[in-house]
């Protein structure tokens, strides 16, 4: 897509703080973070929304989720079992879809949000 900012980031035409890239996925820090840790994971292939993804893309979606877990852990957001048996830490994954779902950039992307109580 010629006007897609995320396609341009994936192509290296717009700078971003890249935290992961491989042949199918790229992850980078959000420029307007909602929490101490806020990354976006996008497929290199353009899909406007999650609704545009079919069953044949299940492996790609699974890889996005697995990458979210690894990146959150690397950023220090993995849940930790404390000696008293309580869990601390954690992170949130979020995919906004369509205007009523809060999607602002029409290229499928997953937010990985972490740190102390990142949600508002």
Q: Per the domain annotation, does 65 fall within a domain?
A: yes
**Does residue 108 fall inside a structural domain?**
yes
Q: Is residue 87 part of a domain?
A: yes
Cα separation of 28 and 50, whole Å?
19
Given a contact cutoff of 8 angstroms between Cβ atoms, the answer to whether 73 and 90 are in contact is no
**What range defines the domain where residue 98 resides?**
5-114
CATH code assigned at 52? 3.30.428.10
The answer as to whether 119 is a domain residue is no
The structural domain count of the chain equals: 1
pTM listed for this prediction:
0.93
From the list 32, 38, 57, 109, the catalytic residue is 109
Is 120 inside any structural domain? no
> Residue with structure tokens 């069953």?
55
The torsion angles phi and psi of 30, rounded to 5 degrees, stand at: -70, 140
pLDDT tens, position by position, 5-39: 999 999 999 999 999 999 999 999 999 999 999 99
Whether residue 32 lies in the annotated active site: no
Whole-angstrom distance, CA of residue 103 vs CA of residue 96: 5
The reply to whether 9 falls in a domain is: yes
* Cα atoms in the Cβ-side hemisphere of radius 13 Å centred on 92: 15
pLDDT digits (tens, 9 = 90+) for 70-100: 999 999 998 999 999 999 889 999 999 999 9
Q: Does residue 55 fall inside a structural domain?
A: yes
């Amino acid at each position: 897509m010629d006007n897609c900012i995320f396609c341009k980031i994936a192509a290296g035409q717009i700078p971003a703080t890249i935290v992961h890239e491989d042949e199918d996925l790229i992850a980078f820090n959000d420029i307007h973070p909602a929490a101490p840790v806020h990354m976006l994971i996008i497929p290199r292939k353009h899909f406007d929304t999650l609704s545009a993804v079919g069953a044949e893309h299940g492996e790609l979606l699974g890889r996005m989720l697995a990458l979210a877990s690894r990146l959150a852990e690397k950023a220090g957001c993995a849940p930790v079992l404390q000696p008293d048996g309580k869990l601390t830490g954690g992170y949130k994954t979020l995919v906004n879809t369509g205007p009523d779902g809060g999607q602002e950039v029409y290229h499928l992307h997953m937010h990985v949000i972490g740190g102390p109580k990142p949600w508002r």
